[in-house]
Amino acid sequence: MSRFSRTLLFGLLCSTTLLAACGDDDPSAPQIIPPLGVSATPLSVSSIQVAFNSLAGDTGYEIERAEGTAGAFALATTVAAPTTAGPVTYDDAGLKVSTVYRYRVTAVRGTSRSPASGETSATTFAFGGNQSVDVTSDITTSTTWRAENTYVLKGFIHVANGATLTIEPGTTIKGDFNTLGSSLFVLRGARINAIGTADAPIVFTSSRPAGQRQPGDWGGVIIVGNATINRTGVEIEIEGTNTVAGNTSGTNYKVVYSGGTTDTDNSGELRYVRVEFAGFAPSINNELNSFTFAAVGSGTKLSYLQVLAGLDDSFEWFGGTVDATNLVSYESGDDHFDMSEGYRGRLQNVIAFQSTQLPPRTAAGSASSDPQGIENDGCNGAGCTNGFNTTPLTAPVVANFTLIGTGDVASSGSSGGVGMMLRRGTGGYYVNGIVARWARAAVSVRDAETFARGGATSTPDLATADLALRNVLVSSNASTFQSGGSATQNAFDLAGNAIVEDAGAVSALFTAFPATGAVPTTASLDWTPPAGSAAASGGLATFTGKLATIAGTAVTGSAYRGAAAPGGTKWWLGWTLYARN
C-alpha cells in the first residue's frame, strides 16, 4: 500500500465517532452540564439577583450580562461553587434604573467550561415603581427608604431614639395632603443620611398631582441638633409644634431645640435633596419651614438643596454651626434664607429667585407680608439675656450669593421686597453677592445694635468687625439701602465696601434669564455670567481679618460675584426644578 493510501485510510478511520484514540476528546469523560434553573429577579432600581442551581464537581461559574433586549453579553463576574451542591445567588449592582438586563451562566470545572445556559432577563425597578409605603409612626430604629418605593408621610413623623434614617438616591417622599401638617422631624441624637445625586435627587413633595399642588400642602423637613444657640434659661420649641399633649408616636408633640452644648454635633447629611410645596401651619401663624435647621452642628453636611414653592421660609437656621453649599430657593412664601439665634455657619453658592407670591392651599396658613431674600436676626424673645446683644452673635459667612426679587411691590408682599434684611443685632459677612430687582431696597440695616456689629461706621474693618458687606453688585432695586421708618441705619459707604450699583438690565448679568413672570426652563435660565457681565469680575478674591478666620477653608474668595463662576460648572443643572403648582 502506498504512503498516500495509508494516509487516506487513517483519515477515514479517524472520522468515525467510534474510535476514541483518533481525536483529542475522550467520549468516556463526563460532559459538563450548564447550570440549571437560572433566573433573574429585580431587587431595586439598580440591582438584580441572579440565581441558579450548582452541581457536584463544579468549581465555579461565569455570569454574563447583556443590557437591553439585543445587547452583547460580557462577563459580569465569576463566583466560586459552594462546597455542597445547591442554590447559588449573585446580586448584580450598579445597574441603570428601569432597564432590561439579560443573563446567562457557564459552569467551570478546572480548565473546562460548559456551554452557556439559556438566557433569562429582568428589569430594574423604576423610581417609585414598586409600591407606595405609608409612614404613620415615629422611626425609632435605623431604617432605609428605598428608591423603588414611594413613601407617604401621614402624620408628624419623628426620627428618634438615636436612629438613623437612610434615604436612597432617587427616592420620592410625599407629605399627605389629607393628613394635615404631615412632616419629617429628625430629633436630637438621631440622624438622616439622604444622599442623592444630580441624576437622581431625593424629592420631598406634596401628595397632590402636578397642576394641583400649592404652598402649604404639607409640613416640611426639620432637623434638631445639639449645637448651641443664644437663647437660654427657657425651653425653646420648634415653631408649629406642641399642638398635642404627650409624645404619642406620629403626633405633633412638643419638640425643643434649646440647651445644646456640642457645636460639632452631627445630624447626618443631606445632598441633592429637593423640598416642594411645604410650609403647613399646625397652629395659627406658626407655619413650618421647608427646611428647618435648629441648633444643628458642624458635623452635619448640607449641599445641593432646593426649596420650591414653600409657604414659610425656604431655609431657616436657629442657632447652630452647620455649613452649607449650593442652595436654591424658588418662589418662597416668606424669606428665602433666614438665620437667627446665634447661627454661625458658612454658606457659599446660594440662589434665591422670586418672581411672584403663590397662593397657599386653603387653611394652610398665610403667605408672609414681608418676604425677603435674606432675613437675619440676632437674639429676640424669651431667653435673650442681653437683648439684641446676647451671644453667641448671629454671624454667618454668606459668600457668592444671588438674590433676585420680583421687582414689583404688589407681588412682593405688603411690607417686604428687601433683598437683605439685617436687624436685631445680627452680625455676619456677606461677600461677593448679587442683589437685584427688590421692590423696596437691596439692603436694610436696622437698629443701633446691628450697626454696632460693623463698628458703628459706614466702612466696617474686616480685621475687627462682626458685620460686613463687601464686593456686592446691586441692580434694578428701588434703592440700594432702605431709609426711613424702622431702617434707622440706612447705608454703608458704597466705594469703601466695593458695593457697585449696576445700571444695566438684570438679564445681562446672566447667560440666560427668563422673561418677567415666566416659569424658568433649563434653556431659559443659566446663572453663569457671560463675558462682559458686571458679575464676571469685581469679587473679593482674598479674605482677611476676622472674615478669613471665620471662613477658614469652608468658604473661599472669588474674582466674580454671584453664585456661579464664569465658565464654571453649572451646578444647579439636572436636580433643580421650577414649577408653581
Indicate whether 140 and 96 sit together in one domain: no
Indicate whether 420 and 436 sit together in one domain: yes
Residues contacting 510, CB < 8 A, separation 6+: 525, 526, 527, 528, 529, 530, 533, 535, 564
Residue 413's pLDDT is what?
61
Indicate whether 191 and 303 sit together in one domain: yes
Whether the CB-CB separation of 118 and 36 falls below 8 Å is answered with no
Residue 25's pLDDT is what?
43
- The low-confidence residues of the chain, meaning pLDDT below 50, are 1-26, 28
Q: Which three cell numbers stand for residue 250?
A: 406620629
Indicate whether 296 and 443 sit together in one domain: yes
In a domain? residue 577: no
In a domain? residue 578: no
In a domain? residue 216: yes
In a domain? residue 220: yes
Residue 151: beta bridge partners? 133, 173
Query: Where among 78, 102, 123 does a domain terminate?
Result: 123
Indicate whether 215 and 119 sit together in one domain: no
In a domain? residue 83: yes
Residue 30's pLDDT is what?
61
CATH number reported for the structural domain that contains residue 518 in this entry: 2.160.20
Residue 503's pLDDT is what?
96
Q: Which three cell numbers stand for residue 262?
A: 456640642
In a domain? residue 574: no
| Distances in whole angstroms, Cα of residue 155 to Cα of each of 113, 203, 207, 216, 333 | 58, 18, 13, 14, 23
Which of 437, 455, 466 is closest to 550 using CA atoms? Answer: 466
Which of 208, 579, 506 is closest to 358 using CA atoms? Answer: 579
Whether the CB-CB separation of 560 and 541 falls below 8 Å is answered with no
| Distances in whole angstroms, Cα of residue 348 to Cα of each of 34, 153, 328, 339, 396 | 58, 31, 11, 14, 11
Indicate whether 115 and 219 sit together in one domain: no
Task: Give the DSSP H/E element, type plus range, for residue 8.
Answer: helix 3-14
Indicate whether 182 and 102 sit together in one domain: no
Indicate whether 190 and 292 sit together in one domain: yes
Indicate whether 82 and 213 sit together in one domain: no
Whether the CB-CB separation of 342 and 230 falls below 8 Å is answered with yes
Indicate whether 201 and 298 sit together in one domain: yes
For 229-249, write each residue's pLDDT tens digit: 999 999 999 999 999 999 999
| Distances in whole angstroms, Cα of residue 17 to Cα of each of 9, 13, 22, 27, 30 | 15, 9, 9, 9, 16
Residue 524's domain spans which residues? 131-551
d(CA 79, CA 176): 45
Query: Where among 75, 101, 123 does a domain terminate?
Result: 123
**60-67/74-80 β-pairing:** antiparallel
CATH number reported for the structural domain that contains residue 91 in this entry: 2.60.40.10
Indicate whether 110 and 196 sit together in one domain: no
Residues contacting 248, CB < 8 A, separation 6+: none
In a domain? residue 306: yes
**Structural domains of the chain, count:** 2
In a domain? residue 162: yes
d(CA 125, CA 96): 9
Residue 411's pLDDT is what?
62
d(CA 520, CA 523): 8
d(CA 566, CA 561): 10
How much is the pTM? Answer: 0.92
Which of 350, 533, 534 is closest to 431 using CA atoms? Answer: 350
Which of 291, 418, 303, 280 is closest to 349 using CA atoms? Answer: 303
Residue type, 258: S
Indicate whether 116 and 152 sit together in one domain: no
Query: Where among 62, 89, 123 does a domain terminate?
Result: 123
For 338-388, write each residue's pLDDT tens digit: 999 999 999 999 999 999 989 999 888 888 877 899 999 999 999 999 999
For 64-113, write each residue's pLDDT tens digit: 999 999 999 999 999 999 999 999 999 999 999 999 999 999 999 999 99
d(CA 257, CA 226): 8
